[in-house]
Amino acid sequence: MSGAAILQATADGILMGGVYAVTAIGLTLIFGVMEIVNFAHGALMMLGMYVTYWLFTLFGINPYLTIPVSIAVMFIIGWLMQRYLLNKIINAPQHNQLLLTLGVMLFLENLALFVWSPDFRSINVPGLDTSIQLGVVSINKPKLLAFAFALILTAVLFIILQKTVLGKSIRATSQERDGASLVGIKVKNINAIAFGIGTACAGVAGSLIVPFFFTSPGAGAVFLLRSFVVAILGGLGNFWGALVAGLIVGLAESLSGLFLSGSWNDLVIYGIFVLVLLLRPTGLFGGGRLSGSH
């Protein structure tokens, strides 16, 4: 095993980890505020992929310029989904909510199959198909950009949560729902907004991977399980935990691919997952209630 190969796998793993982190942050935000486990998260990410794919294919818009559109579209979808579906069963037992989000996932995936066919689609963006050579490591440009955007998004989201009135009311609602009601926060609105933001995270992650991943109705499923692993590893509801765990899972995936051959990496990831659930079910960093401070 050459040192160069290890460095290469490390770089690839970190870059992919950023994307996992963004999807997981969406999940963790939704769980932190509403304690809803959103199985539709991957399918929503897939919708984000199609937003970018079609805007590029039909109008030639650079995939990275489609991100604002993806955020807007996915925020609205998430908002509507919370307001008109999940809100109806917000007080129902958790497994009922789980079934509902699972239903939404199946609906969206089949809708995508019906409307866009099961074709695997890829785009070719001029200037993006090259790599940057850093010594022995070659960095795939779209992956680097995805990682950079992922970090920016995480930072922006963190600032929103820490500094704005909206962010403070989201954190307050996640920490003490009745307390939030008693200071006059419209908890129902906050739920819908938080779900919208979480969905927008999924959408952005979707947009970011379009340049180097096949867009297809089932694409989200691959990421759904990974984002669950990341969110739980980081501690459900823990913002920074998700970021660190994203990098860990990305690294574990690429390094295991290198040392154990490709087909092993899923096994390693779920092995980590099972171990965390058995040994430290609150995640590596403990479940935060969107405290944002650790």
Partner 1 sequence: MLTINDLYVGYGDTLVVQGVSLDVAESELVSLVGANGVGKTTLLKTISGLVRAKSGEILFMGENITRLAPDEIVARGLIQVAEGRKLFPAMTVLENLELGAYTKEAHKQKKRNFELVFEMLPDLKTKARNMAGTLSGGQQQMLAIGRGLMSAPKLLILDEPSIGLSPLLTQTMFEIIGKIKEQGVTLMLVEQNVHHALGMADRGYVIEQGRIVLSGPAMKLLHDEHLKKAYLGM
Instruction: Report the interface residues with partner 1, using CB under 8 A.
Output: 165, 168-169, 171-172, 175-176, 178-188, 288-293
Shortest spacing between CB 214 and partner 1, in angstroms: 40
Nearer residue to partner 1 within complex by CB, 72 or 187: 187
Cα separation, 203 vs 68, whole angstroms: 10
Shortest spacing between CB 290 and partner 1, in angstroms: 8
Residue that the structure tokens 């954190």 belong to: 171
Shortest spacing between CB 246 and partner 1, in angstroms: 22
Nearer residue to partner 1 within complex by CB, 9 or 194: 194
Nearer residue to partner 1 within complex by CB, 2 or 178: 178
- Written as one letter, the residue type at 153 is L
Residue 164 structure tokens: 């704005």
Residue 151 structure tokens: 């970090």
Beta strands in the chain (DSSP E): 131-134, 137-140
Residue 93 structure tokens: 């037992």
- Candidates 40, 48, 26; CA nearest to 86 is 40
Nearer residue to partner 1 within complex by CB, 190 or 204: 190
- Are the beta carbons of 46 and 108 closer than 8 angstroms? yes
- Candidates 169, 170, 157, 161; CA nearest to 31 is 170
Cα separation, 2 vs 62, whole angstroms: 37
DSSP-derived 3-state class of residue 119:
coil
Instruction: Write down the H helix ranges in 210-291.
Output: 219-234, 239-260, 265-279
Shortest spacing between CB 45 and partner 1, in angstroms: 28
Q: Compute CA distances 251 → 129, 133, 169, whole Å.
A: 23, 20, 35
Shortest spacing between CB 77 and partner 1, in angstroms: 25
Nearer residue to partner 1 within complex by CB, 161 or 247: 161
Residue that the structure tokens 């096994």 belong to: 267
Shortest spacing between CB 276 and partner 1, in angstroms: 22
Nearer residue to partner 1 within complex by CB, 87 or 138: 87
- Are the beta carbons of 156 and 168 closer than 8 angstroms? no
Residue 42 structure tokens: 């991957």
Shortest spacing between CB 293 and partner 1, in angstroms: 7
Shortest spacing between CB 179 and partner 1, in angstroms: 3
Nearer residue to partner 1 within complex by CB, 203 or 288: 288
Nearer residue to partner 1 within complex by CB, 192 or 229: 192
